[in-house]
Amino acid sequence: MEKKQYVLGTYGRAPITMERGEGSYLYDTTGKRYVDFCAGIATCCLGHCHPVVVEALEKQAHKLMHCSNLYGIPEQEELAELIVRRVVGIDGQIFFCNSGAEANDGIIKVARRFGHRHPAMDGTPRYEVLTFNKSFHGRTLGSMAATGQRKVQVEFDPLLTGFRYVDFNDMEALRATVSKETCGIMLEAVQGEGGVNPVEPEFLREVAELCQEKDLLLMLDEVQCGFARCGAMMGWQAICPDIQPDLISCAKGIGGGFPMGCFWVSNRSIDDSGTPLSSIMTPGSHGSTFGGTPLACAVSHAVVNEMLRLDLAARAKKSGEHIKRTVKGWRFPCVETVRGLGLLRGVALKPGSFAVPEGKTPAAHVNDLCREAGLLACPAGPDTLRLIPALNIPEEVLDEGLGILRAVLGSLV
Ligand SMILES: *Cc1c(COP(=O)(O)O)cnc(C)c1O
């Protein structure tokens, strides 16, 4: 009774259907059990159907789901305070939306407004945002144009103007690309989709300095690497904690599997009269009908609270180091290295070291073999297998998944 012809075919889906989840296990409709190292693409950070999340959802559903941003929403204020104080840790304000792409569109809008308020020497507005090759920022017209990967843009041009792409971790190239129109530099602390590539600490520090020097906004896309994923509450904090970002986009792990996104805008002053950056987004300048519903905020609050209560950042750091040590310890010739931080890990496969079926990438092939063997992971680029389990994955389930991975990698010829 398949009705998949009614669903637009934008995803190449695996030939399995999930029926239910429990912690770091998923069960398909045939009853087969999988160890989940994908976690809804780094979203289900507390595992599936965590009682704290289920309870928050049920309780709020009985009270109020949605009432619109025309009225005060105390659940938003509670969550915003938690994120500003305990996650970002720098004075600022939050806008709630529903996804990562929306969050990135939002920070691009803030950067453009800033570029109008702080124009170039000749008085023309600045609007250009520099991003990086192999970055991924989303699928809307804005976030797709920001993405430094041609493959997501094919036949959707003309693209939104105002983006230029630079090689990641290349300071000389970045300096040379800043123009009089540039108003911001946007990056992921760890590039997720692009192959699990962490930013180098010196590079990030120099980007922050360049932003100060040229009056540019430092824009961090923390959609995948944020919310305890990389061993600190935010990805940048795990790499170079003393920098001061201006704009941060978040989604994925923030909702524990519930659709949720937000962006943070710094309160730092942008002129001599002490105007806070956040104040340039005045009433009417941005909006979202479903952004920050009481339901989404109550669930997200429960998720973030639990993350903090259990110090899942520290746990992600420890579990991630265990993954790295274990996989490297196997010394398989097909594994070039293990990249990433915390529980955003990439097993870099050595090109040409094993046979890959026609038309498949090495990462997609290994991912298929893992799935057949009962382990769900996720490719990141053509040669990297991404491991992004729930942050609270029990040690024994982590080892069970690694055992499956070992058998698969050991069988490659
Ligand atoms: C997934 C992702 C996005 C897009 O998020 P959506 O919720 O799919 O719109 C943006 N940036 C990064 C770094 C991501 O990993």
- What pLDDT digit, counting tens, does each position of 323-346 carry? 999 999 999 999 999 999 999 999
CB 367 within 8 A of CB 375: no
Whether residue 388 is predicted with pLDDT greater than 80 in this model: the reply is yes
Atom in ligand 1 nearest the alpha carbon of residue 188:
13
Q: Give, for 27, the enclosing helix (H) or strand (E).
A: strand 25-28
Instruction: Dihedral sign for Cα 259, 194, 179, 215, please.
Output: positive
Indicate where the chain has its CATH 3.40.640.10 domain(s). 54-310
Ligand 1 atom, smallest distance to 138 CA: 4
| 1 has a pLDDT exceeding 80 | no
Encoded tokens for 248: 């941060």
Ligand 1: residue of 44, 104, 222, 224 to mutate (most ligand atoms within 8 A of CB) is 224
How far, in Å, CA of 33 to CA of 35, rounded? 7
Nearest residue to 33 (alpha-carbon basis) of 374, 367, 372? 374
Count CB atoms within 10 A of the CB of residue 45.
31
pLDDT in tens, 131-175: 999 999 999 999 999 999 999 999 999 999 999 999 999 999 999
pLDDT at 257: 97
Pick the CATH number of 54-310 from 3.40.640.10, 1.10.3720.10, 3.30.2130.10, 3.30.830.10: 3.40.640.10
Q: Which CATH superfamily is domain 4-49+317-411 in?
A: Aspartate Aminotransferase, domain 1 (3.90.1150.10)
DSSP string, 136-169: ---SSHHHHHH-B-GGGTTT-PSPPSSEEEE-TT
- pLDDT tens by residue, 243-288: 999 999 999 999 999 999 999 999 999 999 999 999 999 999 999 9
In angstroms, the CA 159 to CA 140 distance is 11
Query: What is the percent of the chain where pLDDT is above 90?
Result: 99
Domain with CATH 3.90.1150.10 in the chain: 4-49+317-411
Contact by Cβ (8 Å): 91, 82? no
Instruction: Find the radius of gyration of the CA atoms of the chain.
Output: 21
From ligand 1's centre to the CA of 298, what distance in Å? 22
SS3 content of the chain, % helix, strand, coil (to 5): 40, 20, 45
- 209: its two tokens: 């300095």
The one-letter code for the residue type at 12 is G
Number of the ligand 1 atom closest to the C-alpha atom of 98: 7
Beta strand 247-250 pairing with 217-221 = parallel
Q: Which residues line ligand 1 (CB under 6 A)?
A: 99-101, 104, 136-138, 188, 192-193, 221, 223-224, 251-252
Q: Counting Cβ atoms within 10 Å, is residue 217 exposed (0-12), middle (13-18) or buried (19+)?
A: buried
pTM of the prediction? 0.98
Crossing angle, helix 395-411 and helix 362-372, to 10 degrees? 120
Starting at the edge strand found earlier in the chain, the sheet holding 25-28 runs 18-22, 25-28, 33-36, 375-376
Q: What is the pLDDT of residues 296-325, one digit of tens each?
A: 999 999 999 999 999 999 999 999 999 999
